[in-house]
Amino acid sequence: METLEQIRDRLLARFPGAKVEMVLNPGAAEQHSLLLDAANARAIALFLRDDEKLALDYCSNATGIDWPEKEITETTKKSVPDPEGGPDKVVEEKTKQIEPGYLEAVYHLFSMALQHGPVTLRLRTENRTDQVTLPSLTPVWRSCDFQEREIFDLYGIVFEGHPDLRRLLMWDEFKDHPMRKDYVEVDDYEYEPTPHGAVLERAKGHYPAAEDSANEGPAS
């Protein structure tokens, strides 16, 4: 199979103006990936599937990642004159900036026809709040169907063009997305028919009147 660099170069030649960037994985496996822009992602996916040399006809896994905003500190050095007339002194200056957060969908592709892979693709949203739409790749690889629904459910990525985008694990009325890193677990488990253990202890704080009534017992 072609190297990831060769695949990237072919994609850039085939789709002028598209964003196709290498994302290096420093781990021992060194499974690097290709970051695609949302506007060209589905066209590129079709090319990867239908190209005779690649024939990436199977998506084995699709998953989500939450990248919250983070503070980055950059250190720069500069020379300043010595007030006593000696050699210039080198001082460090630190500046802080906020790197916006985003959500990511990651796809692992294989070729069943040519028996090679994986090739890993990444798609990123604009942010984590009101711009969380990405193109669905289910029309390209049918195996993405339930996995994109799971990502939508647990991370909140909205997959445009998905044939049946709805929650998969949580119920329709459930609020928020449990796999986000800033998700706060609720302690009001009123949906639990028989709360017990730690669940019961957390729920008691919401029902003090009922608890007091139960402790009082029947009136004499």
Cis peptide before 118 (omega within 30 of 0): yes
126 and 216: one domain? no
Residues in the chain: 220
Please indicate, yes or no, if residue 64 is contained in any of the structural domains: yes
Q: Which of 156, 133, 144, 132 is nearest to 108 (CA)?
A: 144
| Pick from 31-35, 88-92, 109-113: least confident | 88-92
pLDDT at residue number 87: 83
108 and 153: one domain? yes
- What predicted TM-score, i.e. pTM, was given to this entire model? 0.80
117 and 143: one domain? yes
How far lies 34's CA from each of 11, 100, 115, 121, 132, in Å? 10, 20, 20, 5, 19
114 and 214: one domain? no
pLDDT at residue number 119: 97
Q: Is the confidence at residue 187, as pLDDT, over 80?
A: no
Whether the CB-CB separation of 82 and 55 falls below 8 Å is answered with no
Please indicate, yes or no, if residue 84 is contained in any of the structural domains: no
Q: pLDDT tier at 5 (50, 70, 90 boundaries)?
A: very high
116 and 39: one domain? yes
Please indicate, yes or no, if residue 78 is contained in any of the structural domains: no
Torsion of CA 126, 127, 130, 135, to 10 degrees: 40
Q: Which of 127, 149, 176 is nearest to 62 (CA)?
A: 149
Structural domain tally of the chain? 2
pLDDT at residue number 191: 56
45 and 124: one domain? yes
Please indicate, yes or no, if residue 26 is contained in any of the structural domains: yes
134 and 218: one domain? no
Please indicate, yes or no, if residue 80 is contained in any of the structural domains: no
Please indicate, yes or no, if residue 88 is contained in any of the structural domains: no
Please indicate, yes or no, if residue 95 is contained in any of the structural domains: no
Please indicate, yes or no, if residue 83 is contained in any of the structural domains: no
Distance separating alpha carbons of residues 78 and 63, to the nearest angstrom? 44
pLDDT at residue number 209: 58
116 and 62: one domain? yes
120 and 212: one domain? no
What residues make up the domain containing 21? 4-69+102-171
117 and 204: one domain? no
142 and 220: one domain? no
pLDDT digits 0-9 by tens, 171-183: 888 889 999 999 9
Sheet holding 20-23, edge to edge: 20-23, 33-36, 116-124, 102-111, 58-67
For residue 49, the domain's CATH number is 3.30.460.80
Angle between helices 38-50 and 4-14 (to 10 degrees): 110
pLDDT digits 0-9 by tens, 47-79: 999 999 999 999 999 999 999 998 888 888 888
Q: What is the token pair recorded at 215?
A: 């402790």
pLDDT at residue number 217: 53
* Tokens 């990867």 found at: 48
Burial (CB count within 10 angstroms: exposed 0-12, middle 13-18, buried 19+), residue 171? exposed
154 and 199: one domain? no
Whether the CB-CB separation of 137 and 45 falls below 8 Å is answered with yes
What is the largest distance, in Å, between two alpha-carbon atoms of the chain?
A: 94
Q: pLDDT tier at 27 (50, 70, 90 boundaries)?
A: confident
Task: Please say whether the dihedral angle defined by the alpha carbons of residues 65, 9, 59 and 110, taken in this order, is positive or negative.
Answer: negative
